[in-house]
Amino acid sequence: MPEIADRLKNVTVSASVAMTQKARDLAAQGVDVVALSTGEPDFPTPEHAIEAAYAAARAGDTRYPPTDGTPALRKAIQLKFKRDNQLEYDVSQILTAGGAKQIIFNAIMATINPGDEVVIPTPSWISYADIVKFAGGVPVPLPCAQENGFKPLPADLDAAITDKTKWLLMNYPSNPTGSVASKAELLALGDVLLRHPQVWIMTDDIYEHLIYDDVRFYTLAQVEPRLYDRVLTVNGVSKAYSMTGWRLGFCGGPAPLIKAMSNVNTQNSGGVCTLTQAAAVAVLEGPQDLLQERARIYRERRDYVLERLTSIDGLRCHKPEGAFYLFVNIEGLIGKTSAGGRFISNDADFVLALIEEQHVVTVQGAAYGMSPYFRLSYATSMERLETGCDRIAAFCAGCR
Ligand code: PMP
């Protein structure tokens, strides 16, 4: 058979996608599965987004779009950055693509030469390292301990940066930990970055609006204007507006970087679906109060799951301030055997045994670069969370 390209040899299938598929397979066999593995909101897309897409289709807005985004959408994004982040971007500094994922892909493709290093505070979203490898770059994990709220210490960041470092990828609120960086923490990391002018910084702000208690969201380009020319601010409509299937991500950044990313975009896509762009204008310019209402519901779920899991022997939980994940330490269960006779030597064993014996689907910490942990998503109904917690408690109690 003809051969597949070498560049794909080190790229893996995302573990969360694999686990979600496992949940679907079990459900198809009639098993009552509690899927706590998916990274998407369980709320519907707002009605006014659907109406706007329908109206666009009816009005004949069905031809090739401008690849970088329609003027109306780029204007709406410009206003969003100003309104939510006090960030000024010219429309020419704004780009759209098929999800924040494609924005990140285009940025890495536009900048990475073989051997270039990308520093990734870890645990981190699965795709960052794979995208970097795809481009021939070297992902450099920067371990962030639970004791430090899963956030990098400035001295550790300084030590991780070399002459070959091209990017630092930041993601707060974080997938998978839910950690949020404070203004002071961003400024301290910014101080380090000012000393390394060869480094671009990407802030993946996709969970910006999923934030709890009195915590405030800040993004690096906003708090450290001296880094404005080196920061790519990434966001999208997937998580905030429950629009994961519509596929729209966007960014603001320095004009030369945006131009290079636009060149990548023109060769790997013809631009985002016109109906999606119309829907995105509607949510970005429309009423924003649904964001707070949904954040309140997520916070209730977080509080519930956190309380339940904290009371289970063998689990150690960090309190997330944002996103909809819990990243749970299972050190206390390593070396034990489950009620069903499965030896737990690592977090992948734990996650598989939990699926097999209690039909609860989560994702092993190893997939995010830190063990022994598992990631649980609470973007599901309270009723499913109760069942899920009952089953996790029963599973852990059965481990000897
Ligand atoms: N960044 C992070 C940290 C994510 O968790 C996700 C989605 N799982 C994305 C980006 C991708 O978002 P989008 O749907 O806009 O491609």
- Least confident among 24-28, 136-140, 241-245, 322-326: 24-28
Cβ–ligand 1 distance for 169 under 6 Å, the answer: no
The predicted structure's pLDDT at residue 346: 97
User: Mean pLDDT, to the nearest integer, of 159-184?
Assistant: 98
Is the pLDDT at 15 greater than 90? The verdict is: no
Looking at the CA of residue 103, tell me the nearest atom of ligand 1.
16
Q: What is the pLDDT of residues 272-318, one digit of tens each?
A: 999 999 999 999 999 999 999 999 999 999 999 999 999 999 999 99
Ligand 1 centre and the CA of 151: distance in Å?
A: 19
Cβ–ligand 1 distance for 123 under 6 Å, the answer: no
The predicted structure's pLDDT at residue 371: 97
Global confidence as pTM? 0.96
How many percent of the chain have pLDDT more than 70? 100
Cβ–ligand 1 distance for 206 under 6 Å, the answer: yes
If one residue of 124, 202, 238, 377 were mutated to test the ligand 1 pocket, choosing by the most ligand atoms within 8 A of its CB, it would be: 238
Is the pLDDT at 24 greater than 90? The verdict is: no
User: Mean pLDDT, to the nearest integer, of 24-34?
Assistant: 92
Cβ–ligand 1 distance for 170 under 6 Å, the answer: no
User: Mean pLDDT, to the nearest integer, of 331-338?
Assistant: 98
Q: What is the pLDDT of residues 189-200, one digit of tens each?
A: 999 999 999 999
Looking at the CA of residue 102, tell me the nearest atom of ligand 1.
16
Ligand 1 centre and the CA of 133: distance in Å?
A: 18
CB contact set of 298 (below 8 Å; sequence gap of 6+):
210, 212, 324, 378, 379
The predicted structure's pLDDT at residue 134: 93
User: Mean pLDDT, to the nearest integer, of 327-343?
Assistant: 98
User: Mean pLDDT, to the nearest integer, of 179-189?
Assistant: 98
How many percent of the chain have pLDDT more than 90? 93
Ligand 1 centre and the CA of 139: distance in Å?
A: 18
Query: Of 374, 383, 309, which is closest to residue 37 (Cα–Cα)?
Result: 374
Q: What is the pLDDT of residues 63-117, one digit of tens each?
A: 999 999 999 999 999 999 999 999 999 999 999 999 999 999 999 999 999 999 9
Ligand 1 centre and the CA of 128: distance in Å?
A: 10
Looking at the CA of residue 323, tell me the nearest atom of ligand 1.
5
The predicted structure's pLDDT at residue 23: 82
Cβ–ligand 1 distance for 219 under 6 Å, the answer: no
- Split at pLDDT 50, 70, 90, the class of 136 is very high
Is the pLDDT at 20 greater than 90? The verdict is: no
Q: Which fold has domain 47-285?
A: Aspartate Aminotransferase; domain 2 (3.40.640)
Looking at the CA of residue 236, tell me the nearest atom of ligand 1.
15
Mean pLDDT (the chain) is 96
User: Mean pLDDT, to the nearest integer, of 329-348?
Assistant: 97
User: Mean pLDDT, to the nearest integer, of 322-350?
Assistant: 97
If one residue of 20, 77, 101, 284 were mutated to test the ligand 1 pocket, choosing by the most ligand atoms within 8 A of its CB, it would be: 101
Ligand 1 centre and the CA of 236: distance in Å?
A: 8
The predicted structure's pLDDT at residue 307: 98
Looking at the CA of residue 101, tell me the nearest atom of ligand 1.
16
Residue nearest to atom 12 of ligand 1 (CA): 100
**Considering just the CA atoms, what is the radius of gyration of the chain in Å?**
21
Domain 6-44+290-397: CATH superfamily is Aspartate Aminotransferase, domain 1 (3.90.1150.10)
Q: Complex ipTM, two decimals?
A: 0.99
Cβ–ligand 1 distance for 175 under 6 Å, the answer: yes
Is the pLDDT at 378 greater than 80? The verdict is: yes
- CB-side exposure of 333: number of CA atoms within 13 Å? 33
Q: What is the pLDDT of residues 258-271, one digit of tens each?
A: 999 999 999 999 89
User: Mean pLDDT, to the nearest integer, of 203-225?
Assistant: 97
Q: Where are the domains positioned within the chain?
A: 6-44+290-397, 47-285
How is residue 23 written in tokens?
């949940």
- Least confident among 17-21, 29-33, 60-64, 331-335: 17-21
- Split at pLDDT 50, 70, 90, the class of 7 is confident
- Split at pLDDT 50, 70, 90, the class of 22 is confident
